[in-house]
């Protein structure tokens, strides 16, 4: 009988203990707090008791929790509302007010003490309740250092007890008879190892999260968290399509805007790829994929926005990480190393990181051109790359008060690509021409940005005022040495071209947000950006044993641009319907001056960019919903595209700009259905005016000219599918498919083409053994301008294992296992055919190791927002 009673008592105790571990899934955005309590009751069978005088629907809460323990949810939400909670039983939770100091002074008796862990360190935000005869009397929450105080009219000789509750620790009861309160002076809680392990697992964000207007790739929680570049992470991210030449797409054939910590990267396609290769995945927290951005985002980027959010440190004291990576690329090595460090002392937050990469590789290319006179130009090139990349970031933030903060951040990168091109030339015509060419191309690309921001919180609902100012500068020094030798010595040539350039951007913005408790939000802001660019090209030819300046091959181009922008948006949630309206206005004033050719142009245009979003929830428990959105976007011509300078790439190829280019405008429509909680299917349609496209045109003497033009309207429509599957507890799959069809007219030639993208990421987590990731991607042939691109397929495999008490990670990564990644392009125009082929070193094996360390308590590091958004994307040289 005693064993039965003991067993019964054990079951009752643990049922109460683990009742705190019941889990709830919530997605609340400025919802009444009563809805939070109703969901806890509905999902976990708790009765939540509170007074309407203390808890009203004017108190709103926001939280996104997936299978999170109820105790953890309440501990996160209630203290900021001056409320606390108590598990009276395994079916009852009591919500009450936290007494402030003034209330304490009015009481006759004050009970003080401290809640500590096994090491004697204070435990903050512990719920403490005072009971008498199982009746709840009053409660409070411990301070940041674990201290607590309770004010009550204690009666001498009466028996009371304190009940504590804190997630990750076993609940504890302390009995005492007033005025003997010695037992309550120091309350030591015991860790619940089982509960702690459970919380650590369930609190992690999934690899893919779906939001109303975007989906999120949680890089920090993925297998790509350490040892990779940001460029490689984008290549492996679901729903993102990255080509070898540096283009990034989200859907169809439209360009995207890339942001890092709210700063748009205004660089050329090639420079952006270089910069992302210097940014380490160890610094990335998540990547936000936004197909149709609302009005608070700049209007640039017809294909949407990729927002890379860098990590926020979570510890008091010192936290950091170090990593190292080695990769064998054929016969050439790739090495990378770096680290990060963060420190908090009182109200000051300091963080920084640094990295260095050395990349040696080789590529093979071949181009075959058939001209209208049936002559054939063929060249075969071996390219040798020797690239060094370094990057750093330093940020300091200071909390002026609980409502105000100020911060400054400086980011810099220096890349030095050195490339050697060895080319065999075979020109088959009436007089065959054979030759060789050697080009030595050296570049020094620098980027530096300094940002200052100030944030003022206006209320507890999320209203705020934000002021941001920043300055960034991009510099590039290039030197290209070209020597060509033919079987006809009269055609031999040698030249040196130096191309120094610099771009400066000044930006400032003010953003205001007002949030009401009735699920309404209003946003408005204004921004000004000034851009100045100075670009030169100095050419010298070798003639009769001396170098002579060539004025016809040289150029000096100065460009300035001013952007004035303002926006407003209004958002309202009515029952299960969400509505958001926005309007953005952007005025562009630009001036270009080619000093060498005495050509100049001026542009002044104003654009209005409305946006509309509607979402209807069909079933909350199953998370099924319908949505529709619309936005108008634009793409301004890049600085290079506007420069009229004619660059002689080699004897038979010219690259030139077009100062007559106009911005292209796109109207995007999207409708979709979310089902089975995470599955998404949507269709979209895009109509573009003044389409910008690069055109290859044959000139006299069989010279090819490459130049961008505006063409007639383009149309594109397609289908996107996102299908994440949890096959088992250890095996998950993220599948993405994009099918689109475009039609446009380029130089009176109509083009219609259908393209398919498909990507699958398989993750197998064999606990205490290893993790296995398999990534496969396929892209069918596609069209850009008047050029057709070949299909692409790759298969990557990665093995990883956590070591050193899970603070270290060792990885083996095999890229392009089947060695199938090649680049093929075919252009047929005006009876001229250009067939291009390139094979890079893509089948590689890499070994990497990373280690995280920390000393201190939890804190939140401030990330510095930046204001020079869209300008940096177009900062290319």
- The kind and range of the H/E element at 11 are helix 2-19
Alpha helices (runs of H) in 223-333, residue ranges in sequence order: 230-236, 269-278
Integer Cα distance of 576 and 85 in angstroms: 29
Q: Which of 419, 467, 469 is nearest to 440 (CA)?
A: 419
Q: At 691, phi and psi to the nearest 5?
A: -55, 130
Per DSSP, the residues of 665-678 read EEEEEEEEEEETTT
Integer Cα distance of 172 and 157 in angstroms: 22
Model confidence over 179-238: pLDDT tens digits?
888 888 889 888 765 443 333 333 345 666 766 567 788 887 776 776 677 877 887 777
Q: At 796, phi and psi to the nearest 5?
A: -115, 150
pTM, 2 dp: 0.69
Percent of the chain with pLDDT over 70: 86
Give the confidence band of 265 by pLDDT, cuts at 50, 70, 90: confident
> Is pLDDT at 525 greater than 90 in this prediction?
yes
> Is pLDDT at 7 greater than 50 in this prediction?
no
Model confidence over 285-341: pLDDT tens digits?
888 888 888 888 888 877 788 888 877 654 567 888 898 999 999 999 999 999 988
Q: Residue 157: how many CB atoms within 10 A of its CB?
A: 8
Contact (CB, 8 A) for 231 and 246: no
- Least-confidence region, from 278-282, 374-378, 509-513: 278-282
Q: Residue 475: how many CB atoms within 10 A of its CB?
A: 16
Contact (CB, 8 A) for 361 and 840: yes
Integer Cα distance of 525 and 510 in angstroms: 5
Contacts (Cβ under 8 Å, ≥6 apart) of 477: 443, 444, 498, 499, 500
Average pLDDT, the chain: 82
Structure tokens at 74: 């309440």
> Is pLDDT at 810 greater than 50 in this prediction?
yes
pLDDT at position 213 is: 66
Integer Cα distance of 661 and 640 in angstroms: 11
**Domains of the chain, each with CATH number or no CATH:** 15-201 (2.60.40.1120), 309-855 (2.40.170.20)
More confident residue, 842 or 253: 842
Structure tokens at 742: 């475009």
Q: Residue 254: how many CB atoms within 10 A of its CB?
A: 23
Give the confidence band of 863 by pLDDT, cuts at 50, 70, 90: very low
Integer Cα distance of 754 and 717 in angstroms: 10
Q: At 343, phi and psi to the nearest 5?
A: -145, 135
pLDDT at position 611 is: 93
Quick one: how many helices (H) and strands (E) in the chain? 8, 51
Within 278-331, strands assigned E span 284-290, 305-310, 317-329
Model confidence over 476-486: pLDDT tens digits?
999 999 999 99
**Which class for 770: exposed (0-12), middle (13-18), buried (19 or more C-beta within 10 A)?**
middle
**What angle do the packed helices 33-44 and 70-77 form, to 10 degrees?**
170
Integer Cα distance of 665 and 642 in angstroms: 17
Give the confidence band of 638 by pLDDT, cuts at 50, 70, 90: confident
- Least-confidence region, from 56-70, 701-715, 729-743: 56-70
> Is pLDDT at 171 greater than 50 in this prediction?
yes
pLDDT at position 39 is: 83
Integer Cα distance of 4 and 664 in angstroms: 79
Integer Cα distance of 788 and 781 in angstroms: 7
Model confidence over 403-438: pLDDT tens digits?
888 999 999 999 999 999 999 999 998 888 999 999
Structure tokens at 722: 């996102």
Contacts (Cβ under 8 Å, ≥6 apart) of 108: 153, 154
């Amino acid at each position: 009988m005693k064993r039965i009673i003991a067993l019964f008592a054990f079951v009752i105790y643990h049922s109460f203990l683990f009742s705190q571990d019941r889990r709830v899934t919530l997605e609340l955005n400025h919802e009444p707090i009563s809805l939070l309590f109703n969901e806890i009751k509905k999902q976990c069978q708790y009765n939540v008791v509170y007074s309407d005088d203390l808890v009203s629907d004017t108190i709103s809460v926001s939280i996104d929790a997936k299978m999170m323990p109820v105790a953890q949810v309440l501990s996160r939400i209630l203290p900021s509302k001056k409320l606390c909670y108590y598990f009276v039983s395994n079916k009852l939770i009591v919500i009450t007010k936290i007494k402030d100091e003034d209330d304490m002074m009015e009481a006759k008796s004050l009970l003080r003490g401290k809640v500590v862990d096994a090491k004697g360190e204070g435990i903050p935000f512990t719920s403490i309740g005072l009971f008498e005869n199982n009746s709840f009397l009053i409660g409070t929450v411990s301070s940041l250092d674990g201290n607590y105080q309770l004010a009550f009219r204690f009666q001498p000789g009466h028996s009371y007890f304190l009940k504590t509750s804190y997630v990750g620790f076993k609940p504890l009861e302390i009995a005492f008879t007033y005025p003997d309160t010695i037992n309550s002076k120091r309350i030591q809680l015991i860790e619940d190892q089982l509960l702690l392990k459970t919380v650590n697992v369930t609190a992690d964000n999934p690899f893919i999260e779906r939001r109303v207007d975007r989906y999120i790739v949680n890089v920090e929680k993925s297998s790509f968290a350490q040892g990779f570049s940001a460029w490689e992470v984008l290549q492996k991210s679901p729903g993102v399509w990255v080509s070898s030449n540096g283009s990034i797409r989200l859907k169809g054939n439209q360009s995207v805007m890339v942001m890092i910590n709210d700063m748009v990267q205004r660089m050329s396609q090639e420079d952006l790829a270089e910069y992302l290769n210097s940014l380490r995945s160890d610094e990335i927290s998540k990547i936000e994929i936004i197909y149709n951005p609302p009005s608070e985002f700049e209007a640039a980027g017809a294909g949407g926005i990729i927002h890379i959010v860098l990590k926020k440190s979570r510890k008091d004291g010192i936290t950091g990480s170090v990593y190292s990576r080695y990769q064998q690329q054929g016969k050439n090595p790739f090495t990378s190393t770096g680290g990060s460090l963060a420190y908090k002392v009182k109200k000051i937050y300091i963080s920084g990181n640094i990295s260095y990469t050395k990349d040696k590789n080789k590529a093979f290319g071949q181009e075959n051109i058939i001209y209208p006179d049936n002559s054939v130009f063929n060249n075969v090139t071996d390219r040798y790359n020797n690239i060094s990349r370094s990057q750093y970031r330093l940020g300091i933030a200071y909390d002026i008060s609980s409502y105000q903060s100020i911060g400054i951040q400086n980011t810099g990168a220096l890349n030095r690509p050195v490339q050697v091109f060895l080319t065999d030339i075979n020109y088959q015509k009436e007089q065959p021409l054979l030759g060789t060419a050697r080009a030595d191309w050296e570049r020094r690309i620098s980027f530096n940005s300094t940002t200052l921001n100030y944030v003022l919180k206006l209320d507890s609902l999320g209203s705020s005022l934000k002021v941001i100012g920043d300055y960034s500068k991009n510099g590039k020094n290039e030197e290209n040495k070209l020597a060509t030798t033919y079987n006809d010595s009269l055609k031999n040539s040698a030249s040196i071209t130096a191309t120094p350039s610099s771009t400066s951007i000044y930006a400032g913005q003010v953003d205001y947000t007002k949030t009401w408790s009735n699920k309404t939000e209003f946003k408005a802001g204004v921004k000004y950006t000034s851009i100045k660019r100075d670009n030169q090209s100095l050419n010298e030819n070798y003639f009769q044993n001396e170098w002579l300046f060539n004025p016809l091959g040289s150029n000096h181009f100065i460009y300035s641009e001013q952007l004035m922008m303002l926006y407003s948006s209004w958002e309202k949630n009515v029952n299960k319907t969400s509505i958001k309206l926005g309007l953005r206005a952007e005025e562009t004033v630009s001036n270009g001056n080619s000093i060498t050719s005495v050509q100049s142009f001026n542009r002044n245009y104003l654009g209005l960019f409305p946006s509309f979003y509607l979402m209807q929830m069909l079933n909350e428990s199953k998370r099924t919903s319908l949505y529709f959105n619309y936005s108008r976007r634009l793409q301004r011509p890049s600085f290079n595209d506007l420069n009229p300078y004619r660059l002689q790439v080699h004897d038979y190829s010219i690259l030139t700009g077009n100062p007559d280019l106009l911005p292209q405008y796109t109207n995007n429509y999207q409708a979709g259905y979310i089902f089975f909680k995470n599955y998404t299917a949507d269709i979209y349609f895009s109509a573009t005016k003044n389409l910008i496209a690069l055109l290859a045109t044959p000139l006299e003497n069989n010279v090819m000219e490459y130049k961008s033009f505006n063409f007639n309207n383009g149309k594109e429509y397609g289908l996107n599918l996102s299908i994440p599957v949890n096959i088992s507890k250890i095996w998950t799959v993220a599948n993405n498919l994009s099918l689109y069809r475009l039609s446009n007219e380029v130089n009176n030639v109509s083009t219609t083409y259908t393209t398919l993208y498909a990507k699958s990421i398989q993750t197998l987590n064999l606990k205490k053994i290893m993790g296995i990731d398999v990534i496969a991607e396929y892209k069918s042939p596609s069209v850009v301008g008047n050029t057709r691109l070949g299909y692409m397929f790759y298969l990557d495999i990665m093995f990883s294992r956590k070591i050193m008490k899970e603070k270290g990670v060792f990885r083996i990564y095999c890229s392009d296992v089947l060695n199938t990644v090649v680049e093929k392009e075919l252009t047929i125009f005006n009876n001229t055919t250009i067939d291009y082929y390139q094979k890079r070193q893509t089948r590689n094996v890499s070994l990497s190791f990373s280690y995280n360390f920390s000393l201190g308590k939890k804190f939140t590091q401030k990330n510095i927002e930046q204001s020079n958004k869209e300008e940096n994307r177009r900062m290319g040289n």
